[in-house]
Amino acid sequence: MKLFLSLLPASKLLLRSQLPVIYQRVQSLSAMAPGAQFFRQLFDRESCTYTYLLADNDTKEGVLIDPVIEHADRDANLLQDLGLKLKYVLNTHVHADHITGTGKLKKLVPGCKSILSKASTGKADILVEDGDKIKFGNQELVVAHTPGHTAGCVCYIDYQTNSVYTGDTLLIRGCGRTDFQGGSAANLYESVWSKILSLPEHTTVYPAHDYKGQTCSTVGEEKKLNPRLTKEKEQFIEIMDNLNLSYPKKIKESVPANLECGLFNLPEHLVFDK
Ligand code: FE2
C-alpha cells in the first residue's frame, strides 16, 4: 500500500486520509454485490441525527434505523430508486430531539413494520427485547437492551459485518445524557461496558448522532479514547450528574409522538394522511 501511495501524484495523496472510511465499508463500494450487505448512512442537519439504511443485496429486503420525519420522503425515494423493499423501520429509543419518520414511512411504503423496544413503553408493530433477532434477507441484527440514556434504549448488533448501531447509548467520544426518560448514569455505564465495549475491538460503532462531523468509530477507539466511559464508574456518574444541559428544543412534541412511532400526537405542520 505504501508503494502504491508513493506512486500517486500529490493531489491524489489526499485519498490517504479517506482510507479508514473506505476500508470500514468495503461492501458499499461493491454496491449491490451478491451476498454482501448494502449500507448507507443518511443525515439530518437540524438534529445531527444519522439514519441508517441496510439491505440484503440478494433479496433486496432492507431496514431503516432511526429515520427522521422530515426526511421520510427522501428515504422512501432512495428505497425506490435502489429497488429495495423496506421490511422494518427500527428505532433505538424514544427520541427527545426529533420525531421519528417511522409513521410516515409506514404510509409511504405500505407493508413495512415498526420496531421499538418493549421497555420503551411505546407502541410499535413489533416490540423487541434483549437477544431478539431481526432478519432481512440473509442479514441479521441482534437486539441488545442498553438502558441508561433512556430506560428503553436498545442497540442493534450486526455480527456479520462487525457493526453496532448504538443510538444515543454510545456516541463518538461521548454518550447520551441520562437526566430524563428513565435515564440513569449507572445503568448507561453498565450497558456500554457489558453490551458494546465487550464486542471485538474492530467492531464499527455507528451512533444516532454526531455534532462534530464524525461518522463512525470503533469499539477499540472508544475503549481507549472516550473521555467519559474510560473513567471509573463513580467518576462517570458524577460527570453525568453535573452536565446541567438545557432540555432539547423539541422534547415536548417529540416524546409523545415517538411513543406512537410518529403516527399520532404529531404537531400540526407534520401531520400527514394515515
Ligand atoms: Fe436520544
pLDDT tens, residue by residue, 65-79: 999 999 999 999 999
Cβ(183)–Cβ(134) below 8 Å: no
Calpha distance 241→228 (Å, rounded): 12
CA distances (Å), origin 26, targets 60, 100, 150, 186, 265: 19, 29, 33, 37, 41
- Number of domains the chain is built from: 1
Residue 128, pLDDT above cutoff 90: yes
Determine, yes or no, domain membership for 210: yes
Cβ(65)–Cβ(117) below 8 Å: no
Span from the CA of 231 to the centroid of ligand 1 (angstroms) = 22
The pLDDT of residue 170: 98
Determine, yes or no, domain membership for 267: no
Residue 30, pLDDT above cutoff 80: no
Residue whose C-alpha is closest to residue 156's, from 137, 131, 127: 131
Determine, yes or no, domain membership for 10: no
Prediction pTM value? 0.88
Span from the CA of 264 to the centroid of ligand 1 (angstroms) = 19
Determine, yes or no, domain membership for 256: no
For cell 456479520, what's the residue?
160
Average pLDDT over residues 247-262: 95
Least confident among 32-41, 73-82, 104-113, 209-218: 32-41
Determine, yes or no, domain membership for 62: yes
Instruction: Give me the phi and psi of 58, to 5 degrees please.
Output: -80, -50
* Strand intervals (E) in 146-240: 154-158, 163-167, 204-207, 217-218
CATH at residue 107: 3.60.15.10
Residue 21, pLDDT above cutoff 90: no
Determine, yes or no, domain membership for 232: yes
Domain range holding 72?
26-242
Residue 196, pLDDT above cutoff 60: yes
Span from the CA of 35 to the centroid of ligand 1 (angstroms) = 33
Cβ(99)–Cβ(72) below 8 Å: no
**What residues are neighbours of ligand 1 (ion), with CB under 5 Å?**
95, 168
Calpha distance 219→204 (Å, rounded): 7
Average pLDDT over residues 149-171: 98
Strands 113-117 and 126-128, sheet pairing: parallel
Span from the CA of 57 to the centroid of ligand 1 (angstroms) = 30
Span from the CA of 95 to the centroid of ligand 1 (angstroms) = 4
The pLDDT of residue 273: 75
Span from the CA of 178 to the centroid of ligand 1 (angstroms) = 9
Helix (H, G, I), strand (E, B) or coil at 184: coil
pLDDT band at 60; cut points 50, 70, 90: very high
The pLDDT of residue 19: 41
Calpha distance 19→10 (Å, rounded): 16
Calpha distance 63→129 (Å, rounded): 18
Determine, yes or no, domain membership for 255: no
Calpha distance 202→78 (Å, rounded): 29
Determine, yes or no, domain membership for 11: no
Helix (H, G, I), strand (E, B) or coil at 155: strand
Helix (H, G, I), strand (E, B) or coil at 160: coil
